[in-house]
């Protein structure tokens, strides 16, 4: 890999010069880099599979679904829409600007820094890279050091397939990240936890650098009583996939906990047990379909959540673990204490608390009383409840009768609100995230309204007030009649 060392200023100056040259603005350059991403995904698929399995224990089917297939889809979407996205858009003007015309011209921001996360190391690197390339920027990517094999593979394939003069990879730990943040960028895009997110914002503020923060949050699933046995089955399968099938629960948009009616909870628990066994077998540790915990630090954190007083007694399924294999069994808990850490902190693992309520409508106030989540999942066919959830809760997104699927929709913005982050991306929203919409206005000299200029008098004030009510023809006559007097 092309090493970037020292204080980075020399390398950053090189990127600034490349951007200044206009190279990255060229549409053919943008297309070539997007095609390069498609090529590396196809030709280095095996290397990506091996890296994800080594760092995260991901099965290659899960790896393709979450990190190769989605990225390829996004790159193709950007290629198919690049001409439209980069075209200027005509803007309407008020009559007072006649004769004039205006347009919005998207322009790249410059040199951008992308700090990606370890749980989806390829997907969460390439998704923002696609937006930054489509917008015409120069890029530095710093992958997470917590997935070291994936970080190394990312650095190598980007070196081999993309333009190294404009797209660079920096590997390293927190020290490297801190050194990078000491420098001026034109945009910083960070995916990760809120603690580091605060540090990113603090560093960015020194240079007034705009920031996008993709954080997390405790994403609830509100599970209403579903009368149809088919609906129950599909809902439970989607919840299991949205919890344990998303990197073993180590995903910012994974289901964090369930809210359901007390009378429905026993049925729900039995269905969850049944379909967990169908997905992962009687001994999930022997399954190759469940991702492992990223490292011993996170493993210990999850174990401490379960070992907290009164939490262990709420376990109704699972709970076993193996530190050597970084494995924790899919675990269901019913009504753990609400002040316990498992209910106050984002879980980020295969632990699924169920909180029971007297009536399902109480879920709205439960959610409102807590920080805004990245996503809310509502499993209900009750349109009245759906409407209340939309109108009375706040979250980055809300999806009914499924989980996580909103992430793959290029037509929907993906991002948080409040403590779950701000700024959004995916599809055109990624392009806009790394662009500035420059307002361009051109006027002619044929008509000029004299009452806009001093010296001021009451007659000009009246003309200014009345002029707002006149149509274009009247304004022209006003101009013609006052030209000599103004």
Could you say which DSSP state residue 209 is in?
-
Nearest residue to 134 (alpha-carbon basis) of 73, 78, 69:
78
Nearest residue to 360 (alpha-carbon basis) of 234, 219, 223:
223
pLDDT tens-place string over residues 299-345: 999 999 999 989 999 999 999 999 999 999 999 999 999 999 999 99
Alpha-carbon gap, residue 394 to 368, rounded angstroms: 8
- pLDDT(483) > 70: no
Could you please state the CATH topology (level 3) that the domain comprising 9-215+426-437 is classified under: Aldehyde Dehydrogenase; Chain A, domain 1 (3.40.605)
Domain boundaries, the chain: 9-215+426-437, 220-415, 449-482
Write down the CATH number for the domain with range 220-415. 3.40.309.10
pLDDT tens-place string over residues 86-136: 999 999 998 778 889 999 999 999 999 999 999 999 999 999 999 999 999
**pLDDT (mean) for 473-482:** 54
243, burial (CB in 10 Å: exposed 0-12, middle 13-18, buried 19+) = buried
Alpha-carbon gap, residue 176 to 186, rounded angstroms: 19
Residue 40 near residue 188 (C-beta atoms within 8 A):
no
Percent of the chain clearing pLDDT 90 (strictly above): 85
Alpha-carbon gap, residue 329 to 155, rounded angstroms: 33
Alpha-carbon gap, residue 316 to 218, rounded angstroms: 21
Residue 243 near residue 379 (C-beta atoms within 8 A):
no
- pLDDT(58) > 80: yes
Q: Which two tokens stand for residue 300?
A: 């210990």
Alpha-carbon gap, residue 103 to 358, rounded angstroms: 55
Alpha-carbon gap, residue 444 to 339, rounded angstroms: 66
Nearest residue to 317 (alpha-carbon basis) of 268, 269, 364, 369:
269
Could you say which DSSP state residue 95 is in?
G
Q: Identify the band that residue 234 occupies on the pLDDT scale cut at 50, 70 and 90.
A: very high
Task: Tell me the catalytic residues.
Answer: 214, 252
Most confident of 42-56, 91-105, 451-465: 42-56
Place of tokens 């994800």: 52
- What pLDDT score does 454 carry? 93
- What pLDDT score does 481 carry? 56
Q: Does 9-215+426-437 match 220-415 in CATH topology?
A: no
pLDDT tens-place string over residues 166-204: 999 999 999 999 999 999 999 999 999 999 999 999 999
Reported as half-sphere exposure (CB side, CA atoms, 13 A), residue 363 has a value of 28
The two beta strands, 435-443 and 100-108, are: antiparallel
CB neighbours of 433 closer than 8 A, spacing ≥ 6? Answer: 128, 131, 135, 187, 189, 212, 423, 424, 425
pLDDT tens-place string over residues 364-384: 999 999 999 999 999 999 999
With b for 16 or more beta-carbon neighbours within 10 A and e for fewer, the 379-408 pattern comes to: bbebeebbeebeeebebbbbbbbbbbebbe
- What pLDDT score does 468 carry? 54
Taken in order 418, 421, 423, 427, is the CA torsion positive or negative?
negative
φ/ψ (deg, to 5) at 460 = -65, -35
């Amino acid at each position: 890999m092309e090493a970037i060392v020292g204080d980075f200023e020399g390398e950053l100056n090189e990127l600034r010069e490349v951007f200044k040259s206009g190279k990255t603005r060229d549409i053919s350059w943008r297309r070539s880099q997007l095609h390069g991403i498609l090529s590396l995904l196809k030709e280095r698929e095996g290397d990506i599979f091996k890296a994800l399995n080594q760092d995260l224990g991901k099965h290659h089917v899960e790896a393709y679904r979450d990190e190769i297939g989605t990225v390829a889809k996004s790159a193709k979407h950007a290629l198919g829409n690049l001409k439209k996205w980069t075209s200027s858009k005509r803007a309407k003007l008020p009559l007072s600007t006649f004769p004039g015309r205006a347009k919005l011209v998207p322009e790249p921001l410059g040199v951008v820094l992308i700090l990606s996360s370890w749980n989806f190391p390829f997907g969460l690197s390439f998704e923002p890279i696609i937006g930054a390339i489509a917008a015409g920027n120069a890029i530095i990517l710093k992958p997470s050091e917590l997935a070291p094999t994936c970080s190394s593979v990312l650095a190598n394939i980007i070196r081999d397939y993309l333009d190294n003069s404009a797209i660079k990879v920096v590997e390293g730990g927190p020290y490297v990240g801190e050194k990078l943040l000491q420098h001026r960028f034109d945009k910083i895009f960070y995916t990760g936890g809120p603690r580091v997110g605060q540090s990113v914002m603090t560093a960015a503020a020194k240079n007034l650098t705009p920031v996008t923060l993709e954080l997390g949050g405790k994403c609830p699933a509100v599970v209403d009583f579903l009368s149809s046995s088919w609906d129950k089955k599909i809902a439970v399968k989607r919840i299991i996939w949205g919890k344990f099938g998303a990197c073993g629960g180590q995903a910012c948009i994974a289901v964090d906990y369930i809210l359901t009616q007390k009378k429905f909870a026993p049925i729900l628990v039995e269905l969850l047990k049944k379909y967990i066994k169908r997905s992962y077998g009687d001994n999930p540790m022997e399954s190759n379909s469940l991702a492992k915990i990223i490292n011993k630090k996170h493993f210990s954190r999850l174990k401490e959540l379960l070992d907290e007083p009164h939490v262990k007694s709420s376990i109704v399924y699972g709970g076993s673990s193996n530190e050597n294999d970084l494995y924790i069994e899919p675990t269901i808990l019913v009504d753990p204490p609400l002040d316990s850490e498992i209910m106050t902190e984002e879980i980020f693992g295969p632990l699924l608390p169920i909180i029971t309520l007297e009536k399902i409508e109480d879920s709205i106030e439960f959610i409102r009383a807590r920080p805004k989540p990245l996503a809310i999942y509502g499993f209900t066919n009750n349109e009245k409840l759906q409407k209340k959830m939309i109108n009375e809760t706040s979250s980055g997104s809300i999806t009914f009768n499924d989980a996580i699927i909103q992430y793959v929709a290029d037509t929907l913005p993906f991002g948080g609100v409040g403590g779950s982050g701000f700024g959004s991306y995916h599809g055109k929203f990624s392009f806009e995230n790394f662009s500035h919409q420059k307002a361009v206005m051109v006027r002619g000299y044929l008509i000029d309204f004299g009452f806009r200029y001093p010296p001021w008098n009451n007659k000009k004030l009246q003309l200014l007030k009345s002029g707002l009510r006149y149509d274009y023809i009247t304004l022209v006559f006003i101009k013609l009649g006052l030209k000599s007097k103004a």
